[in-house]
Structure 1
């Protein structure tokens, strides 16, 4: 425990005994190796340059994971942690919005942005002010989701399920849109967290630690933004994330309105309240994962629709978030044997 490798139950924990944590470091090493190999595949297959998107996703994910590792080993002040998150997100935004072509292609910086908020509505060559606004969005989006994934890492299985679903969603989107880098990155993400699940779900169990939850949030958010600026319709890039954003956002608003400190440890998230009804960790995590899978499928559906179809899918996605938020009130309580 002195080394910080045991997770001791506290006000935020849903487990009842100390559990080994920090296994996210193994996931980080595996995903880094897989990501680097994926980046090297491009020139080996005869492409003129290495996929900068792949390199950025790998680098951003590793940086987020290493920040989590520092939090596990030493602990960081809120100010230092927030600054590091903003720096990581800023680096990702700069790399994706003003990137050089590597190992061939044109020299200098180019704008790779092909925004397609709605399928069929393609916008290219954003003006400088548009790129700056997109950079601000990226910084807020990526840094906040790393925190969101950390807040949601409170039950056995929940982060592993999330990583698998998000990775497979990105892989399917990459396949359907012809973005090979997204297909490969999604598979690496799914494999990394899929490999963690058996260790997390079997006795005596093991947790990701901050290294793993930061890695999860970073890899999902960076991949999502990279897909957006590569021309993937917006809903298809955020489908796996809306349940997590909805859970954390609604919980924080509820706490603030009740006069509570938003940043103090608690067990008031939707997934925690479901577990408190008597459901096992795996059952509660599976419910959250199921809602995430539905939202992800709705996002994939936006690849095949125009404006009105996209708006309908957006409304359906918001309905899924609302239904998920109401589950602690409507699900029957269970008595554990």
Structure 2
């Protein structure tokens, strides 16, 4: 208890020190026509997520150096990208290396046949970047990550032990601290790529550990809300022949905020609440993957379709 209180105080101090550094070196986010915010805001405060993850690794007392190196690598390249836009090739190259180290750290070579490992790496990198694209309004990354981490902590404590609790609790503390400054109508800071990429990387690592321990693929649905929004938005953009790597405002959460004029905080909380309800279903049922696809992914896809049509049409009507 006292240990986690000390960690909380250190992380609070870390983010306050970062604010001073960001203000001095002008590490800020300036809104443009694709932004969902209107004021200049400190960027990169999500650096406390990898700091918390590294702290969790050391608290296990059984340090996995491949995992440690992978977290530091992917966080460092993301932080550099926050300050100076890097080429996609450099970013993806480091993400590939980091993901390979992470997969090795969780014994991915035992979970998947050798011929499938590269495809798994591509999926991991795709998921990391999809999570990053979903970080566009106040509170959404912090709330969604907190829901995932607390769910994973519950699984670890009450269903099956798959890792040291510190690997979930330290990042969860970081999420609460970050939300204090971010979950506001006018956020004090944004996570930046260093935050959204590193927390996505960490959550995927924990998800792989759960699947390895339980041998149950139902835990793939722990990120259903983000998955549906990200995948269907990508498919929509492909049909429109848009560059899916460029910033945009086509995600449903963006349509709800920008076209529907719903508050950031309400939309972010709604995404987290829906995922929490889905996680409750996952933890209290034992259906097959096809059944989960039917009762989770199909309804979410229908909701996506309804809101995407409703608020895209609203935008068209306003612009007519």
> TM bucket by the smaller chain?
0.7 to 0.9
Pairwise CA distance, 1:58: 5.0
Q: Secondary structure at the match of 1:179?
A: coil
Q: Secondary structure at the match of 1:192?
A: helix
Specify which of 291, 294, 312 is matched with residue 277 of structure 2.
294
In structure 2, distance between residues paired with 1:182 and 1:56: 17
Report the CA distance shift for 1:206/1:246 in structure 2 as closer, same or farther (over 3 A).
Answer: same
Q: In structure 2, what is the equivalent of residue 161 of structure 1? A: 143
Aligned-residue CA RMSD in angstroms? 2.6
Alignment pair present for 1:258 and 2:237: no
In structure 1, distance between residues paired with 2:72 and 2:222: 20
Alignment pair present for 1:77 and 2:87: yes
Report the CA distance shift for 1:33/1:186 in structure 2 as closer, same or farther (over 3 A).
Answer: closer
Q: Secondary structure at the match of 1:181?
A: coil
Q: In structure 2, what is the equivalent of residue 119 of structure 1? A: none
Specify which of 271, 280, 287 is matched with residue 253 of structure 2.
271
Pick the structure with more helix per residue. 2
Specify which of 176, 180, 198 is matched with residue 158 of structure 2.
176
- 1:307-336 per-position Cα deviation (integer Å, ceiling 9, x unaligned): 4xx5323321213421441335568x9xxx
Determine if contact 2:138/2:187 at 8 Å carries over to the other structure: no
Determine if contact 1:97/1:135 at 8 Å carries over to the other structure: no
In structure 2, distance between residues paired with 1:73 and 1:155: 20
- 1:278-332 per-position Cα deviation (integer Å, ceiling 9, x unaligned): 1111011112212222332233235xx254xx5323321213421441335568x
Unaligned runs of 5+ in 1: 41-49, 99-110, 116-129
1:47-126 equivalences in 2 (<5 Å): 50=62, 52=64, 58-97=68-107, 113=110
Pairwise CA distance, 1:198: 0.5
Pairwise CA distance, 1:5: 1.0
Determine if contact 2:81/2:193 at 8 Å carries over to the other structure: yes
TM, length-normalised to structure 1: 0.77
In structure 2, distance between residues paired with 1:205 and 1:249: 30
Bigger drift between 21-30 and 157-166 goes to: 21-30
- 1:115-134 per-position Cα deviation (integer Å, ceiling 9, x unaligned): 6xxxxxxxxxxxxxx53145
Determine if contact 2:70/2:98 at 8 Å carries over to the other structure: yes
- 1:157-191 per-position Cα deviation (integer Å, ceiling 9, x unaligned): 00000110110111112123331516442223322
Report the CA distance shift for 1:137/1:222 in structure 2 as closer, same or farther (over 3 A).
Answer: farther
Unaligned runs of 5+ in 2: 1-22, 315-320
Alignment pair present for 1:249 and 2:231: yes
**When the two structures are aligned, how many residues end up with a matched partner?**
287
Alignment pair present for 1:220 and 2:203: yes
In structure 1, distance between residues paired with 2:171 and 2:291: 29
